[in-house]
Amino acid sequence: MRESHAGASRLAELLNGVLSPPRAGHAAYGDRHTVVVSAGLHRAVTGNRPPVDSLGCAEILHGAASDPDPALAALKARMEAVERYASVTCAEQLSTVASAVELGPGALPTRVLPRHDPGEPGPRSGTHGVLGDRDQVRWVRATRCGDGAVVYVPTVMAFNTAPRHPGEEFWVPVSTGTAAHLSWAQALENAVLEVVERDAVALTWLLRTSAERLPDGFGDYPGAEPEARLPYSAEHMREYTLARWDITSDLGIPTVLSVLRGPGRRVHQIVGAAARRTLWAASAASAAEAAQIHASLEASVRAGDRAPRSPVRCRRVHDGALFMAPESKAHHFDFLGGSEPHDAKEPSRSPTPGSDPVRRLIEAGHEIYAVDLTPRDVAPSGVRVVRAIIPSLQPLSPVFAARYLASDRLRRIGVPLAEVNPMPCPLA
């Protein structure tokens, strides 16, 4: 968020009816602060039941963010909490139960949906490979970017809602592609960039693709982008090391993967990632995310959370991060390459700074569907919440046994199932 303090305070006041105030305790991470905010749920919408995650487990809605300014960190965390709140609100009220055949041309074609491979290891974890054209499932209205056509998309792809019909088990609901902003256009761009980021991370990790390591400090000092600020103090960095790789995919939208390593054994290495209009901004944002996730996971471990005993048991959003965080797993990151950073400038394949990622994807033939998730009690604040769905890109699934290994995107690459990374993705 780039609002002034006055604007930030006003927005916080408008959201007070939806969210609880920031928790008293927050993690100071060098000169950066990580704030956790709990979302107060609207009883008229959710009743007395807590929301559930993609596996039907009760969870508390919260947001977390990092910034050198504690007030802005709190505001960013509130906005993330709003995104998560919107992702579980009104799914039933906005849905229509039907089959793709009944909806006809107005439905997203089921043939374009990413699929699971029957040979994926471990228990199926409640998922299966295909949504049939005659399966009765929930659908919500979306707008196809580019031509504005109204298209119905499966509700489980737009909301973090547990499957309610057998056909809905083709999808693992996650928050990917959800963004909140005072501008609809900016919210849409942010949502699309997150889908692009997860696509790049999924391909890099699943295929164990090497990448170019960026110069140390790339994105750490003030530059053209407001968010390109030092995320760690010099004192803090004596105990921690930060390495960043350019994992920009064939989409050409700058994407960076950061690996933060510290002195802890259980939480030794944490991954952050980001896609932005420029490589510089992506580098800064990925480092900030690594700091935020590190603080959150350390707090989780202190509270008694433990990593699954094996990859096939990874099901929660942060299970992969917990499983890969110990120092003993460090060698699984070696495929990234680049033990020494390069002095190269921004790669020429990156688009010209300022290019519109939404338009870029559409021109490349990728269809983008936008769902307005803005809850009624959030709308008066002026905040808009959007979910972007791009079926042609690779989803990043927290469920190890349901990683969409039969997607068209992976099939075009032609990597045998036996060569896919046997470790869970470490990005929470």
DSSP track, 169-236: GG-----TTEEEESSHHHHHHHHHHHHHHHHHHHHHHHHT---EEPPTTTT-S--SSTT-S--S-TTG
Name the nearest CA neighbour of 117 among 427, 390, 418, 323. 418
pLDDT at position 349 is 43
Q: Which of 77-86, 200-209, 227-236, 297-306 has the lowest mean pLDDT?
A: 227-236
Interatomic CA distance for residues 424 and 397, integer angstroms: 9
Average pLDDT for 78-91 = 86
pTM reported for the whole predicted model: 0.87
The answer on pLDDT for 409 being more than 90 is: yes
Q: Which of 290-294, 319-323, 410-414 has the highest mean pLDDT?
A: 319-323
Name the nearest CA neighbour of 71 among 3, 124, 153. 3
The answer on pLDDT for 284 being more than 70 is: yes
Cβ atoms 255, 360 nearer than 8 A: no
Q: Which of 28-42, 195-209, 213-227, 369-383 has the lowest mean pLDDT?
A: 28-42
Q: What single-letter DSSP state applies at residue 145?
A: T
pLDDT at position 77 is 77
Average pLDDT for 68-85 = 78
Q: Which two tokens stand for residue 258?
A: 């950061």
Average pLDDT for 256-268 = 91
Q: What angle do CA 400, 404, 406 make, to 5 degrees?
A: 130
pLDDT at position 39 is 42
pLDDT at position 324 is 97
Local confidence band at 19 (pLDDT 50, 70, 90 cut-offs): low
Residues of the chain with pLDDT > 70, as a percent, come to 74
pLDDT at position 298 is 86
pLDDT at position 190 is 97
Local confidence band at 296 (pLDDT 50, 70, 90 cut-offs): confident
pLDDT at position 231 is 45
Local confidence band at 12 (pLDDT 50, 70, 90 cut-offs): low
Higher pLDDT, 79 or 138: 138
Local confidence band at 75 (pLDDT 50, 70, 90 cut-offs): confident
Cβ atoms 272, 261 nearer than 8 A: no
pLDDT at position 236 is 57
The answer on pLDDT for 45 being more than 90 is: no
Average pLDDT for 86-107 = 94
pLDDT at position 416 is 84
pLDDT digits (tens, 9 = 90+) for 323-378: 999 999 999 999 999 766 665 444 444 445 558 999 999 999 999 999 999 988 88
pLDDT digits (tens, 9 = 90+) for 154-211: 999 999 988 899 899 999 999 999 999 999 999 999 999 999 999 999 999 999 999 9
The answer on pLDDT for 8 being more than 70 is: no
C-alpha to C-alpha distances, 226 to 1, 2, 222, 342, nearest whole angstrom: 10, 8, 7, 24
Name the nearest CA neighbour of 282 among 314, 249, 308, 311. 249
Interatomic CA distance for residues 193 and 199, integer angstroms: 10
The answer on pLDDT for 246 being more than 60 is: yes
Interatomic CA distance for residues 396 and 205, integer angstroms: 10
Name the nearest CA neighbour of 406 among 48, 129, 169. 129
The answer on pLDDT for 143 being more than 70 is: yes
Higher pLDDT, 113 or 376: 113
- Which residue type sits at 317? V
Average pLDDT for 209-226 = 73
Interatomic CA distance for residues 20 and 33, integer angstroms: 19
pLDDT at position 309 is 94
Name the nearest CA neighbour of 276 among 249, 293, 246, 253. 253
Local confidence band at 394 (pLDDT 50, 70, 90 cut-offs): very high
Q: What angle do CA 373, 378, 382 make, to 5 degrees?
A: 95
C-alpha to C-alpha distances, 231 to 13, 28, 217, 240, 263, nearest whole angstrom: 28, 11, 10, 12, 18
Average pLDDT for 387-394 = 98
Interatomic CA distance for residues 106 and 153, integer angstroms: 9
Q: What is the mean pLDDT of the chain?
A: 81
Average pLDDT for 307-311 = 95
Q: Is 244 helix (H, G, I), strand (E, B) or coil?
A: strand
pLDDT at position 210 is 95
Average pLDDT for 20-36 = 50
Cβ atoms 300, 270 nearer than 8 A: no
